[in-house]
């Protein structure tokens, strides 16, 4: 498997993770980003995932090549200093052109599985958003999560009344999830910055929306 590299130095690699590929195999096994780690470094320790992306989300994934780099990146994510930008194609669209979703999220499990639900008792979750294009019953949103909750962007788009296309958990499903981790910036010394290209399954929709 060949995963494109968007950024590399002695501390980090930023991969352009394909949609549909898990970051780690987990209990269910199967292919994952971690299968590719031997190609990134021959050191006895590492590499390590500095954060996570959903299997169906494409785009920027930060991998630390050294333990010191891992700890530095985790400190940036934990303190909310990591700047993350997502692009999503959503069904319908919000009534305004920009705004902020401030909705705590908590994990809820049932016989069908689990999902994140908004409301009291959840962990604080805030996402800035703006509309970049609208056409034919869909919108192109740029989203900047200030926190890093599981499924945050997906749950917050649904809370706006415009779930992400292809989202079978928070929307109607019916195709691949149209969510891209477009860019990442960590204000380290030196800084880490990377930007991912639009994946093939999102190009047609974004072209209709002016992308």
Q: What CATH number is associated with residue 138?
A: 3.30.2350.10
**Which pair of tokens denotes residue 204?**
């047609």
Q: How far apart are the C-alpha atoms of 51 and 63, rounded to whole Å?
A: 8
pLDDT band of 43, cuts 50, 70, 90? confident
> In 3-state terms, what secondary structure has residue 102?
strand
- Average the pLDDT over 13-29 and give the result: 92
What's the whole-number average pLDDT of the chain? 95
Domain ranges, residue 117: 5-208
Assign 157 to helix, strand or coil: helix
The pLDDT of 114-125, averaged and rounded, is: 94
Count of domains forming the chain:
1
Rounded to the nearest 5°, which phi and psi values hold at 82? -70, 130
Rg (CA), the chain: 17
Predicted pLDDT of residue 1: 65
Segment 96-122 shows an average pLDDT of: 93
C-alpha pair distances (Å), 134 with each of 97, 157, 163, 175, 203 = 10, 15, 14, 20, 15
Residues with catalytic function: 54
Mean pLDDT of the 56-77 span: 97
């Amino acid at each position: 498997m060949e995963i494109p590299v968007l950024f590399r130095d002695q501390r980090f690699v930023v991969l352009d993770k394909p949609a549909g590929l898990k970051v780690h195999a987990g209990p269910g096994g199967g292919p994952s980003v971690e299968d590719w780690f031997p190609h990134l470094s021959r050191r006895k320790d590492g590499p390590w995932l500095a954060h996570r992306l959903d299997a169906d989300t494409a785009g920027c994934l930060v991998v630390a090549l050294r333990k010191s780099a891992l700890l530095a990146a985790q400190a940036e994510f934990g303190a909310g200093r990591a700047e993350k930008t997502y692009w999503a194609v959503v069904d319908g669209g919000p009534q305004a052109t920009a705004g902020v979703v401030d909705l705590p999220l908590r994990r809820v499990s049932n016989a069908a599985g689990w999902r994140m639900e908004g409301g009291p008792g959840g962990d604080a979750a805030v996402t800035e958003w703006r509309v970049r294009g609208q056409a034919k019953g869909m919108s192109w949103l740029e989203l900047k999560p200030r926190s890093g909750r599981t499924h945050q962007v997906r749950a917050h788009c649904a809370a706006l009344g415009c779930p992400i296309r292809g989202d079978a958990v928070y929307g109607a499903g019916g195709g691949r999830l149209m969510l891209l981790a477009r860019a990442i910036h960590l204000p380290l010394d030196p800084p880490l910055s990377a930007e991912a290209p639009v994946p093939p399954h999102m190009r047609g929709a974004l072209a209709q929306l002016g992308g």
